[in-house]
A and B are shown apart, each in its own frame.
Chain A
Amino acid sequence: DIQMAQSPSTLSASVGDRVTITCRASQSISSWLAWYQQKPGKAPKLLIYRASSLESGVPSRFYGSGSGTEFTLTISSLQPDDFATYYCQHYDNYMWTFGQGTKVEIK
Chain B
Amino acid sequence: EVQLVESGGGLVQPGGSLRLSCAASGFTFSYYWMHWVRQAPGKGLVWVSRIHSDGSSTTYADSVRGRFTISRDNAKNTVSLQMNSLRAEDTAVYFCARGDRGAFDLWGQGTLVTVSS
A interface residues (Cβ-Cβ under 8 A, vs B): 32, 34, 36, 38, 42-46, 49-50, 53, 55, 87, 89, 91, 94-101
Contact = CB atoms under 8 A, between A and B. Distances in A.
A14 to B, nearest CB: 25
B105 A44 contact: no
A46 B104 contact: yes
Contacts of B103: 34, 46, 49, 89, 91
Contacts of A44: 45, 95, 104, 107
A87 B37 CA distance: 13
A83 B102 CA distance: 25
B107 A95 contact: no
Contact of B50 (A96, A98, A100): A96
Contacts of A42: 109
Contacts of B61: 95
A32 B109 contact: no
A interface, over-half SS: strand
Contacts of A89: 45, 47, 103-104
B59 interface: yes
A55 B35 CA distance: 19
B interface, over-half SS: strand
28 contacts: A34-B102, A36-B45, A38-B45, A42-B109, A43-B95, A43-B109, A43-B110, A44-B45, A44-B104, A44-B107, A45-B107, A46-B104, A46-B105, A49-B103, A49-B105, A50-B101, A53-B101, A87-B44, A87-B45, A89-B103, A91-B103, A96-B35, A96-B50, A98-B45, A98-B46, A99-B44, A100-B44, A101-B44
A42 to B, nearest CB: 8
A101 B40 CA distance: 13
Q: Which 8 residue pairs across A and B have the least CB separation, nearest first?
A: A34-B103, A43-B107, A91-B102, A96-B47, A32-B102, A49-B103, A94-B59, A98-B45
Interface string B18-34: 00000000000000000
